[in-house]
A and B are shown apart, each in its own frame.
Chain A
Amino acid sequence: MSSSPRKAVVIGASAGGVEALSSLLPHLPPDYCPVLVVIHLPPTKSSVLADLFHDKCRMRVVEAEDKAPIEAGTIYFAPPDYHLMVETDFTVALSNEAPVWFSRPSIDVLFETAADAYGAGLTGLILTGANEDGAAGLRRVMAQGGRGLIQSPETAYARLMPETALSLCPKALVRPLDRLAAELITEAA
């Protein structure tokens, strides 16, 4: 392992996630490391998230395209109805595999593949949600030497997802929503 591994942040959110991300992503500076986001939405098949956050953020916001190289200063949203994965050559891969925890995209799938690629350079963040997706993924992130961060359940719109993550990853850092941006900037940038 090299002394300064490549850095990236992966974020997973479900119920209440759009609001949580709205108070988080706009704070990240334009030259921040790449951020990959899975948020559970009904598979309406229209891609609204990148448009929604484009005007709010200082980073570039895109919907992830298959085989695209992952670049700093960019936020990648998983397209609706596809899993978002990271390859070990730091490119994006999409997949139509079966849903995980009834979800496609799945947070576990993103976190597990990103952990394999980024190792200790990765920070995983679990936000609000009423689903158990993401906990196993965060455990893999930390097992590979990465950092685990969880929104404190009492500041979450839905507690189940952060609580499940916490029970599987007791060593993860727990922070209220309004402290998460600062935590990401000081540590992962």
Chain B
Amino acid sequence: MASIKRRLLQARDQFGCRSISMLQDMVLHDEDMLAALMSYLTVQVSELFRDPAYFRAIREKVVPHLKTYPSLKVWIAGCSTGEELYAFAILFREEGLEERTLFYATDINQESLRKAEAGVYDLDRMRLFTENHRLSGGKTSLSDYYTAAYGAATFDKSLRKHVVFSDHSLVTDAVFAETQFVSCRNVLIYFNRDLQNRAVALFAESLSRKGFLGLGAKETLRFTDHHDKFDEFAREERLYQKREAA
């Protein structure tokens, strides 16, 4: 709530409104305003291989489990502008899992989804992404996966061959598939406890037995109602595994 309030006040000032009710009036009567407001209310900051230790733990500890499955479904929940998705696609290719995997990349922000699908990022971010990738235990060169031109890096469309992009809300929509891995990082911090409970219940329902859930570096299941449905799989890296009987 504190976060939403801050951003609503920012949006009010940005759109030249004197009050929140004036902002509300604009949004109700102008469809484009809703999309513009959505950009303020949803936070879009990410990196490829953000928190490299997370991806290193996936490589070293989770991938050996995933290799025992003939086919895999991976859900990037709240994929924003796609950085997390491309990190997963690259990691799965490096680990020989890509061909058997279907990725679901979902978000409520249509504009973000369009950017995710385009896979174009500022070239000056590539240095950070490359360093993150290296620290995550990357086995190839990140530059193998994008072409650079006019200050932009465009990721190879082959990385999207196994990806379904979809508009999905963790707050109002239902589970759409059984998955073996859900990665939802720095999304739940914007939810209150009730909404966190709803989202984590969705993940628990979607995940197959012994499936994996990855959260952001400072997020925890401890304060949700569903913490007893998961075991801490890699504590520091915030990787959880769904319990047998959950």
Contacts and interface: CB of A to CB of B under 8 A. Distances in A.
Same complex for A and B? Answer yes
Interface of A: 45, 63-69, 79, 82-83, 85-88, 91, 93-98, 109, 112-113, 116-117
Given A87-B1, A109-B6, A116-B2, A67 B51 contact: no
A93 B3 contact: yes
B44 to A, nearest CB: 9
A68 B224 CA distance: 10
**Chain A CB within 10 A, most for which of B189, B218, B220:** B218
A45 B54 CA distance: 13
9 contacts: A66-B218, A88-B1, A93-B2, A95-B43, A95-B190, A97-B45, A109-B6, A113-B2, A116-B2
A106 B219 CA distance: 19
Given A109-B6, A113-B6, A66 B1 contact: no
B6 A67 contact: no
Contacts of A112: 6
B32 to A, nearest CB: 22
Given A67-B220, A86-B2, A96-B43, 16 more contacts: A45-B51, A63-B218, A65-B220, A66-B189, A66-B220, A67-B196, A83-B3, A85-B2, A85-B6, A87-B192, A88-B2, A91-B223, A93-B2, A94-B189, A96-B186, A97-B7
**Chain A CB within 10 A, most for which of B196, B220, B223:** B223
B218 A79 contact: yes
A13 to B, nearest CB: 20
Contacts of A98: 45
Contacts of A85: 2-3, 6
A97 B189 CA distance: 11
Given A65-B220, A88-B1, A96 B189 contact: yes
B1 A96 contact: no
Given A45-B51, A66-B188, A97 B219 contact: no
Nearest to A64: B218
B139 interface: no
Among all A-B residue pairs, the 5 with the closest Cβ atoms: A113-B2, A67-B223, A85-B2, A95-B3, A66-B189
A87 B193 CA distance: 11
Nearest to A78: B218
Given A85-B2, A109-B6, A113-B2, A97 B43 contact: yes
Nearest to B220: A65
A66 B184 CA distance: 14
A87 B222 CA distance: 18
B127 interface: no
Contacts of B222: 65
Contacts of B7: 97
Contacts of B189: 66, 82, 93-96
**Chain B CB within 10 A, most for which of A64, A82, A86, A95:** A95
Interface in B192-216: 192-193, 196
A37 B222 CA distance: 23
Contacts of A87: 1-2, 192
Nearest to A94: B189
B5 A116 contact: yes
Nearest to B52: A45
B190 A67 contact: no
A88 B192 CA distance: 11
A116 B219 CA distance: 23
A45 B188 CA distance: 20
Nearest to A113: B2
Contacts of A109: 6
A65 B218 contact: yes
A97 B6 contact: yes
A68 B223 CA distance: 7
B3 to A, nearest CB: 5
Nearest to A98: B45
Contacts of B3: 83, 85, 93, 95, 97
B45 A96 contact: yes
